[in-house]
Structure 1
């Protein structure tokens, strides 16, 4: 193992730039091994259960409507209040993670989410339930983009897409597990038991704090040079022990000069070279999740009220769609390094638009046709959405990577909020076909945006993409 990284301690900008570049070069020489997989599994377990918590409301909703005699407006509020919390949580967590560190924010979010799940089991009316869902949304919206940022920062450029997206598969896996367990347990035990089970993973916060090191890239960028060097050396020692071979020398790394407003956060995201990137990824996040949650939040209710399926069958049909989406995520994870980020998002959103358009115009007359075409579309829009968790952190520098990723996460919450609202409003008028045509148009807008304006980042080191 070599330790020829600049040993700066004064925290001057030139020293910091040199150390950030050197840390990046040292990560590039690390072979992917059990250390990476272990960290990915720990953070992945956190993200898995956050996904479980996020979608649980959709499967509890039919029972909650009956128990509390909810109107359509109240039902929509129950669906969207958590997403409003996620919007604010994403914005707050990005700023916090860029200031105090990635690992601290991830651990705090999972602890808060677990406590909220436990308290939700005690609710007996919509008011307290919605308040707790808002707070839980803060935690879920905060954890997911920061976790994506952290995983990107510990991974080298070679096959980064495959490695990161195999981690990101835990999110749709959590959604799928939620669907399967809800289909099985909800009719037997009721919604309170489901939220009680969702509280258990809160203890993972202890494992995160004890076993996951802070990002050396973040430590170096914040002038904590000795900590960055020590953490990087510790990681290298573990990798050498696991592989049984000495590490190669890191490639020479030239520091990139920062612009004068490099610490201004949101202002820099919206000016200079990063403005176009920010606007493009925000549009992609919005379109992808507008479609995703416009469909998934209402499917159980549509199957029950429109096609008169019982609760078990409605949940089973929705579960099939979630499983199809997971398959799409897996295909994207295995192919994104060859196809590229830009083409993946373009063609996936385009495929979703085509499926939904055909469903809306020709195939919405039966539950089975809705099942088939929504499942096909889920293969595509799940694939596009998971790619954004890889693509967005690559576009921004370490000093504001979490903020940039979280801003995308916040905008996706706008899609998550507005998607169910728009679907609810259109569906209230009885126009099921119009629902799917509307979603098709949104997916097409996202596809065109990616095809025309997105930049390609495949195979490039983070510091080269975003100095």
Structure 2
């Protein structure tokens, strides 16, 4: 398909027509399909943490081998996040999401069949590429379909499927691994790859992206199809489009380069949001990825009990995500992000002061830390797409995903280093709390508020 320079009149028209759409069954169905995909990407993400104790026992892994098993997928997610933004801004959001679904399923199958550690690490890396690519691309897509009014709830009620996937993955692992083994867990996780079929048939490409790429006729065609489906689902005529601010100046069909994330208003936005991504996920995964092992090795719990106790953090995290979705349009992005990081700091600080002398202390305060941490982290999937223009929104989201993965990689390593030094659990939680305290202060002082403004007004 030929691509011309973007016509700002077309972009204005597409934005105005999207903004006037009432919530409908069509929106819910699209959010559901993308949500199912994201649910299983999240389901897959933490399976390795819950499988690690059994894999370690079966293959006799050293501490280095266990750490590599935990982190290699995150390295793949980092690379996948970086590549997906570049790719999604060029070939489209839906194509990239579909590709990621297929690769994730194949990665699960390969891990289930791995005869030794090296093949498993390779397949986990490949799977990580897909997981890291799908999540920020899907966030860009959902944001581009939403309107400014109640965008926070619309996007985050979709994003809640991610922690829901983590929670179900934790619960499924706690039952499947002790009864059927870790290989069965990954075989089951490969089945949702069939969702790629429904993506291709049911989900249209983002009209905002098509218009930004200069595919004006296709953008109008897709927009007309969406309007017809919304009319059919609501049984009413659509209101007249209202003018949308933004999209000033001229542009080309080419996508923005990485340097564009550091020009003008975007420099501060980029530095702040990268910091929040890194700090939030360092704390989250530094804690949750090691919980099953801590319960087993420090408190000497049976593997089944250790896995069940670890699910408390996932359930609490899901509750935090729902709270974020219900309050973020009222409180604003900066307040919710600050509360999330600040609450994480307090919960981890209490753990450090108490000395973690009992299982009960770890269960309760790790759950509180997870609740606040998930509150901040899920809000980033709404906040980051709001900060960048359509021409490089996926790139902006994927670079946030890169710092997400850097945090995911760094968190477990920080915990491993502190534990190996013999400093004890108090030092582990004090170290992470100090990092989240810095993130809280940066967020409260420098994060830009975006609630109630159209994407075009925020990033012309």
Aligned to 2:126: 135
Q: Is there any run of 5+ residues in structure 1 with no aligned partner, and where?
A: 1-8
Mapping 1:203-222, distance limit 5 Å = 203-222=194-213
> How far apart are the structure 2 equivalents of 1:170 and 1:461?
24
Note the aligned Cα RMSD (angstroms): 1.3
Are 1:20 and 1:255, in contact at CA under 8 Å, matched by a contact in 2?
A: no
Are 1:106 and 1:143, in contact at CA under 8 Å, matched by a contact in 2?
A: yes
Following superposition, the deviation at residue 263 of structure 1 comes to 3.9
Q: Deviations over 1:199-219 (max 9, x none)?
A: 001111111011000000000
Aligned to 1:452: 445
Aligned residues: 457
Following superposition, the deviation at residue 18 of structure 1 comes to 1.6
Match of 2:400 among 389, 402, 408: 408
Instruction: Please state if 1:397 is matched with 2:397.
Output: no
Following superposition, the deviation at residue 267 of structure 1 comes to 1.1
Q: Deviations over 1:138-178 (max 9, x none)?
A: 00000000000000000111101001100000000000001
Are 1:342 and 1:451, in contact at CA under 8 Å, matched by a contact in 2?
A: yes
> How far apart are the structure 2 equivalents of 1:260 and 1:205?
34
> How far apart are the structure 1 equivalents of 2:172 and 2:229?
37
Instruction: Please state if 1:271 is matched with 2:263.
Output: yes
Aligned to 1:175: 166
Following superposition, the deviation at residue 361 of structure 1 comes to 1.4
Aligned to 1:6: none
Structure 1 pair 307–269 and aligned structure 2 pair: CA distance change class (3 A): same
Following superposition, the deviation at residue 255 of structure 1 comes to 5.7
Aligned to 1:102: 93
> How far apart are the structure 1 equivalents of 2:249 and 2:52?
49
Instruction: Please state if 1:439 is matched with 2:432.
Output: yes
Mapping 1:34-53, distance limit 5 Å = 34-53=25-44
Aligned to 2:416: 424
TM-score (norm 1): 0.96
Are 2:90 and 2:255, in contact at CA under 8 Å, matched by a contact in 1?
A: no
> How far apart are the structure 2 equivalents of 1:186 and 1:218?
42
Instruction: Please state if 1:372 is matched with 2:378.
Output: no
Per mean C-alpha deviation after superposition, the further-off stretch among 439-448 and 44-53 is: 439-448
Aligned to 2:332: 340
Mapping 1:47-446, distance limit 5 Å = 47-253=38-244, 256-258=247-249, 263-430=255-422, 431-446=424-439
Following superposition, the deviation at residue 266 of structure 1 comes to 0.6
Q: Deviations over 1:293-341 (max 9, x none)?
A: 0001100000000000010110011001110111011111111100100
TM-score (norm 2): 0.97
Match of 2:4 among 3, 11, 17: 11
Q: Is there any run of 5+ residues in structure 2 with no aligned partner, and where?
A: none
> How far apart are the structure 1 equivalents of 2:246 and 2:441?
36
Following superposition, the deviation at residue 435 of structure 1 comes to 0.4
Following superposition, the deviation at residue 95 of structure 1 comes to 0.4
> How far apart are the structure 2 equivalents of 1:445 and 1:202?
40
Match of 1:24 among 15, 23, 37: 15
Q: Secondary structure at the match of 2:236?
A: coil
Following superposition, the deviation at residue 98 of structure 1 comes to 0.2
Following superposition, the deviation at residue 260 of structure 1 comes to 6.7
> How far apart are the structure 2 equivalents of 1:123 and 1:279?
40
Are 2:279 and 2:439, in contact at CA under 8 Å, matched by a contact in 1?
A: yes
> How far apart are the structure 2 equivalents of 1:258 and 1:294?
45
Aligned to 1:5: none
Following superposition, the deviation at residue 390 of structure 1 comes to 0.4
